[in-house]
């Protein structure tokens, strides 16, 4: 099947999660955060960049996030002003192990990564809950990135964060996933060598035990820092939708640690708020990125002001002066100046040799799935023979789905299809895809006739025509 150039404008459509084979336009991402404004609005990115980690190098800001089973994975975003972001690449071309991700592995793959800059290199430590902790490095943020190295193998080892200490020692802190390890709510510390190629103490030690703290559950997502003689661990607890942001501090890296809740939902409309990153500007002001779980729209990115009080960070606005902040929806811009109002791309003319950076496949992709050279200014998707679709009669576990993130609560999808050579029993079009999916609009052919089709719900067994042409030839000329 073949997709041609977009026709522009618009904005309107509330529906579910991730998008297949289409173009987006209209109000999106951080539409209220126009260049030159004195204030910004949260979320700064209204899209599913789950578990964001952010660093500053010189006067630039860099972000990566979870990508789960999608390929390419580990999105790379860059900003000049902390509010407007641009997608500049992906660190992980294909998911490892390669054979495991030939098929979609929903809920698996790349969980919460940690981004750092050390020894003139960018580093990403990322967990696969079924494999362990991988490490990648790059001299330039946009890549190329090194092949992932499995630093720490094991099931349920998640949410890593390194620290290179002043005395030359290197450490790794991480959390645990109960679904794999059989336990959670604890943070572990391990020593590693400076090149992060091997762990020096295989057993490690638990340095924070949430089971010994009142009302703590699901302690995870640690980020380890050293600041003014203290070791600080920023870590959320309480669950993704209902939890809060805690900070632990100690004079010694192995503890004991004291704890404090530094941000909770309070009276705000921002649920969670969940894990993220502490970033300091060259001017010395402090900021904290975190995500908010917004169900079908994914985990969207917020930016909060942060200040220090009595040796503890306070995130957001501290209304009652207790040291516990709550999220703000609007705030003065972090940096003065007129910065370009960039945002991650959504539209694609398909006039380049490569797909736009916003596109991700549902599993490890193959070059035989598509072509951008078979017909100029068009994307041709080749019909796939997929046994999972034949057996399950739905698209949930089909790998050759071309997807991008929903960019806003309201947006317009604009797609053109050439269906003039659609084969009998063939179909093509647009779906919204997540925990379930909807066949939003497309075309199907049967007995030489073609019809426009749509379906608001797609259960197992199928209510809509799907790809039934398994000839291996392009469905459209």
What is the CA 242 to chain-centroid distance, rounded? 20
Q: What does the angle CA 87 – CA 93 – CA 99 come to, to the nearest 5 degrees? A: 145
Q: What residues are paired with 291 via a beta bridge?
A: 274, 301
Q: Which two tokens stand for residue 400?
A: 């050759």
The secondary element (H helix, E strand) that includes residue 460 is: none
Query: Which residues have a catalytic role annotated?
Result: 51, 220
- Give, in degrees to the nearest 5, the angle at Cα 196 between 194 and 197: 115
Q: Provide CB contacts within 8 A for 284, sequence distance 6+.
A: none
Exposure string of 21-55, with b = 16+ CB inside 10 Å and e = fewer, is bbbbbbbbbbbbbeeeeeebbbbbbbbbbbbbbbb
Q: To which residue do tokens 């060259």 refer?
A: 282
Distance CA(97)–CA(399), nearest Å, equals: 16
- DSSP H helices in 318-441: 387-392
Q: How far apart are CA 444 and CA 450, in angstroms?
A: 6
Q: 363 and 69 in contact (C-beta within 8 Å)?
A: yes
Percentages helix, strand, coil for the chain (3-state, rounded to 5) are 5, 40, 55
Q: In what order do the strands lie in the sheet with 378-381?
A: 2-4, 378-381, 370-371
* Strands 312-315 vs 299-309: parallel, antiparallel or unpaired: antiparallel
Residues ≥6 apart with Cβ < 8 Å to 292: 43, 270, 271, 272, 273, 274, 299, 300, 302, 327
The number of beta carbons lying within 10 Å of the beta carbon of residue 144 is 11
């Amino acid at each position: 099947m073949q997709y041609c150039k977009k026709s522009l404008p618009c904005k309107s459509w509330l529906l579910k999660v991730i998008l297949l084979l289409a173009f987006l336009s209209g109000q999106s991402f951080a539409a209220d955060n126009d260049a030159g404004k004195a204030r910004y609005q949260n979320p700064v990115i209204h899209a599913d960049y789950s578990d964001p980690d952010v660093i500053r190098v010189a006067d630039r800001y860099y972000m990566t996030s979870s990508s789960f089973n999608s390929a390419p994975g580990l999105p790379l975003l860059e900003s000049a002003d902390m509010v407007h972001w641009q997608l500049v690449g992906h660190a992980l071309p294909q998911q490892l192990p390669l054979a495991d991700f030939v098929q979609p592995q929903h809920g698996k793959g790349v969980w919460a990564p940690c981004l750092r800059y050390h020894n003139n290199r960018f580093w990403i430590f990322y967990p696969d809950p079924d494999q362990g902790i991988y490490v990648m490095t790059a001299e330039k943020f946009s890549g190329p990135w090194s092949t992932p190295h499995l630093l720490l193998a094991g099931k349920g080892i998640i949410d890593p964060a390194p620290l290179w200490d002043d005395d030359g020692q290197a450490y790794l802190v991480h959390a645990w996933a109960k679904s794999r390890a059989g336990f959670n709510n604890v943070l572990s510390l391990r020593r590693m060598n400076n090149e992060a190629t091997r762990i020096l103490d295989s057993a490690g030690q638990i340095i924070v035990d949430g089971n010994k703290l009142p009302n703590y559950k699901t302690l995870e997502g640690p980020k380890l820092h050293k600041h003014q003689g203290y070791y600080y661990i920023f870590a959320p607890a309480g669950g993704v939708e209902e939890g809060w942001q805690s900070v632990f501090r100690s004079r010694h890296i192995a503890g004991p640690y004291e704890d404090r809740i530094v941000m909770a939902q309070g009276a705000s409309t921002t649920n969670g708020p969940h894990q993220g990153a502490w970033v300091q500007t060259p001017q010395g002001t402090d900021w904290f990125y975190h995500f908010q779980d917004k169900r079908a729209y994914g985990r969207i990115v917020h930016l909060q002001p942060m200040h220090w009080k009595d040796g503890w960070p306070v995130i957001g606005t501290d209304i009652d002066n207790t040291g516990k902040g709550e999220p703000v929806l609007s705030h003065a811009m972090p940096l003065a100046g007129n910065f370009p109002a960039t945002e991650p791309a959504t539209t694609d003319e398909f006039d380049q040799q490569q797909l736009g950076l916003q596109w991700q496949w549902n599993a490890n992709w193959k070059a035989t799935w598509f072509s951008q050279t078979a017909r100029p200014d068009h994307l041709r998707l080749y019909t796939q023979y997929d046994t999972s679709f034949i057996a399950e009669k739905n698209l949930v576990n089909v790998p050759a789905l071309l997807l991008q993130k929903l960019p806003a609560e309201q947006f317009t999808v604009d797609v053109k299809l050439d269906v003039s050579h659609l084969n009998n029993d063939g179909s093509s079009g647009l779906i919204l895809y997540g925990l379930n999916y909807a066949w939003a609009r497309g075309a199907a052919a049967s007995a030489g006739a073609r019809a426009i089709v749509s379906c608001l719900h797609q259960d197992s067994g199928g209510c809509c025509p799907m790809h039934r042409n398994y000839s291996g030839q392009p469905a459209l000329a």
